[in-house]
Structure formats: C-alpha cells, structure tokens
Amino acid sequence: MSNESLSKRDLARIWHPCSQMNEYLFGRLPLIPIKKGEGVWLYDHDGNRYLDAISSWWVNLFGHGEPRIAEAIAKQARELEHCVFAGYTHEQAIRLAENITRIAPKGLDRVFFADNGSSAIEVALKMAFHYFANRGEDRPLIISLANSYHGETLGALAAGDVALYKKIYSPLLIQTLQAKSPALCDESEAIDDMRRLFERQGGKICAAIVEPLVQCAGDMAMYGADYLKALRLLCDEFGVLLIADEIAVGFGRTGTMFACEQADISPDLMALSKGLTGGFLPLSLVLTSDEIYEAFRLDDYGEKTFLHSHSYSGNPIACAAANATLDIFANRDILGENDKKARRIAARLSKIAKRDRVAGVRQKGMIAAFDIAGVQYSRDLTIRLTREAIKRGVLLRPLGKTVYVMPPYAIEANEIDFLFNAIEDILDLL
C-alpha cells in the first residue's frame, strides 16, 4: 500500500486532532501514513524515514518499538486485558502504585488512576476543590500561570491560558485566575503577582497549578527552580494546594526524574502521563498525600466520597507498560545517559544561537527550543518549517515561530547531528 492511497482513504473518513483539515485536503501539508517505528525513526509506506524530533507529541521515551515494553504488553494481554477497577484490583496496578510512590517527591503516597493527561488534570482540580469542601470550606477558585496549558477537556482548558485553544470555548469554562508567568517576566515579579492574587482572593483559592520549569505548549517558555521554591512557601502560607502538572516534563525530560526535584519541593498533587508508558499506551496518574486522601473517607458513600471514575481506570496492559518503563529507569542510568546527550544538544544550540534569524535559545535537559527572529508569526511560516523538515527526513511540529526538539532518549550522537544539520539547512532558507 502506498502513501498516496492510504492518505486518500484517511482523508475520506478521518478528522485529525489539532489540525485544520484543509491543509491536508488541499496539499499545504502532507499527510504521511506511518508503517513502523524503530528507535528515533518513523518509516512511511514508500520507504522514507523521519527522525521523530518531538517524541510523537512528547510521549515516547526510549524509542519506538522498545522491546521490553512491547513484551510486557504482550505478556499482560494474554493474561488479563482489563477488569473493573472499582472493588477489584490487580498486581500490575499495585506494583505501579508502589513503584511510582517510591521515586516520587516526598509525601506523595497515594495514587489515583486515570486515562490521559487532561483526565489527570480534571482529577487534580476536582480533588483540590473537593478536599476543602469536605473540610467545610468554599474555595471555588483555581490559579494558573499566564501562557500555561493543561489540556483540552473543559476543566483543564479553563486552567490554561493559551488563547488559540481556549478563547472560543470561554462561555463554557469555569472561572480561573492567571498570575504572571516566571518564564515571561522576572521571577520575583511573578511571585509578587501571585502573592497579590492570594491576598486579594483570601480563602477562596483551592489550588495553584503550574507546569514546573517548562510551559511546553506555551512556546516552550522556561523558568528557574527558585520560582517553584517560592511558590511552595506561598501556598503553605495561604493554605493553598499546589498542583504540579508534570505530564510533559516528568520522567527525565528536564534532566531530573521529575522537574519538581530541581526545586527540592513536593507538590500536594502531581499529574503524570505521556512518558509514563514509554509512549505505548494512554495512562495517567494523580499522586497526592495521605492527608488529602483521608479527607475523602469521612462518610458512607455520600458527597464526601470522590466518585470520579473512568471505564479504563487502572488498565492492566497500560500498567504493565508503565511498570516496564520504570524498570528501565531502575536498571539503567537513563538520566546520566541523557546528560551526555543534552550536552551535545547544547553544543549544537550554541552554534545556532549565533545566527541573525535565531533568538531566545533555551534548554532544560532533553528539551531545547529557539525562536525565529525578525518575523511576525504566521501559519505560512509554521507550514514552511514543517514541510522543509519533512523533506530532510525530520518530524518537527513548530509552535508558531518557536522551533523545538524533544527527542526520544534513544537518540545517538550522529542522530543529534543529523537533526541539527537539518535545522541549520532550514534556517539557511529563511
């Protein structure tokens, strides 16, 4: 089967995510049918290959087709594919809960299972509000950061601040507050702004939610660990829960297992997904404290019970993939290996930074980004960057005029050079 024939069949029936379908239908962007993946490479049906520089939307950790995860999935599928998770349990979920709490920031000792990143944010937001309600406090407000992104379901969307995704749905969304982002202003200015919101709203705020260190969908805007330290102290001072959205930045992306570790803090709730299963299956977790957990055991199946659920909560196959992922971390020095690769990425970035058309070069671990300077954002620019990358065998998905890379950890030195050589070739055309 050829790329062309598969694309035609696709476009006759499928509506793709985060896409203006006219761009595929009228040929502004190619729709590429992928046949297989291996390591950092994706292969189409015409024999072309593409270096997956964005880990297929930030989910893939160790490379496509990672055999240990694939085998764990196959083994579990033959034994137990799924069972209801209310009133029943299984070893894979128990083992995952034990494994993740063992390595999580101190105090995150309870695990709630959900399906995907947005679902995890919904759980965390509801849990934060409900926790205070169970204590007799009415705290309906959530604070997030300007330029933040937390997902596409209505609660998660309300907590975010990227107008491209949020504006049209504003009549449907709960009210949230946004504080200045430490990635877009001085960090002390940002924490002062957060304090003003806390003081103004008094006891009406249940939680502050942040993406630690990197606002990924917010053009990969980055900030330092000192802000997280100050925010933790501020939340403690005002009795506000701190939610860490580590969906994109967890599992080694920023150089530590969890980004919060760089600030030496523990959030009250932490959402995990994406890399949790190594990029194989959807699964998310919300980690929280025993104190929050205990607040929901105050009555018999009434309003104080947390009745949130998903049909596939705790899916055994997804849990098996997650356990295999954590086993790889336990048995190999992934973070040490990544540090060497991040240094090579940094060296190539420093070369790019000298170009006139490049601004705002930034990096946290295995996440690197820069902006195209001297141009206004246009969709035509994004399309051009994407098409030129495809011609050179690279899968990029620029965010406006921000070019970023977040490759699988399987990437080797020669592949890093291949990727950045392609990026430099594209910059030569601008």
pLDDT of 122: 98
How much is the mean pLDDT over the chain? 97
Task: Name, in order, each residue with C-beta under 8 angstroms of 348's C-beta and a sequence gap of 6 or more.
Answer: 416, 417, 420
pLDDT of 301: 80
Region 197-207: what's the mean pLDDT? Answer: 95
Confidence of residue 254 (pLDDT cuts 50, 70, 90): very high
Does the pLDDT value for residue 299 go beyond 80?
A: no
pLDDT of 47: 97
pLDDT of 378: 87
* pLDDT tens-digit map of 124-160: 999 999 999 999 999 999 999 999 999 999 999 999 9
In order of 168, 206, 208, the CA distances from 141 in angstroms are 21, 6, 9
pLDDT of 258: 98
pLDDT of 59: 98
* pLDDT tens-digit map of 84-104: 999 999 999 999 999 999 999
* pLDDT tens-digit map of 37-65: 999 999 999 999 999 999 999 999 999 99
Confidence of residue 1 (pLDDT cuts 50, 70, 90): confident
In order of 24, 29, 96, the CA distances from 11 in angstroms are 8, 13, 39
CATH, domain range 3-65+333-429: 3.90.1150.10
Region 385-411: what's the mean pLDDT? Answer: 97
Confidence of residue 300 (pLDDT cuts 50, 70, 90): confident
Does the pLDDT value for residue 417 go beyond 90?
A: yes
pLDDT of 377: 82
Region 277-294: what's the mean pLDDT? Answer: 98
N- to C-terminal Cα distance for the chain?
36
* pLDDT tens-digit map of 343-365: 999 999 999 999 999 999 999 99
0.95 exceeded by pTM: yes
pLDDT of 171: 97
In the chain, where are the structural domains located? 3-65+333-429, 67-331
pLDDT of 229: 98
Confidence of residue 376 (pLDDT cuts 50, 70, 90): confident
- Domain 67-331 CATH assignment equals 3.30.470.10: no
Of the candidates 173, 117, 113, 170, the residue with the CA atom closest to the CA atom of residue 306: 113
Region 210-234: what's the mean pLDDT? Answer: 98
* pLDDT tens-digit map of 173-199: 999 999 999 999 999 999 999 999 999
Confidence of residue 228 (pLDDT cuts 50, 70, 90): very high
Confidence of residue 319 (pLDDT cuts 50, 70, 90): very high
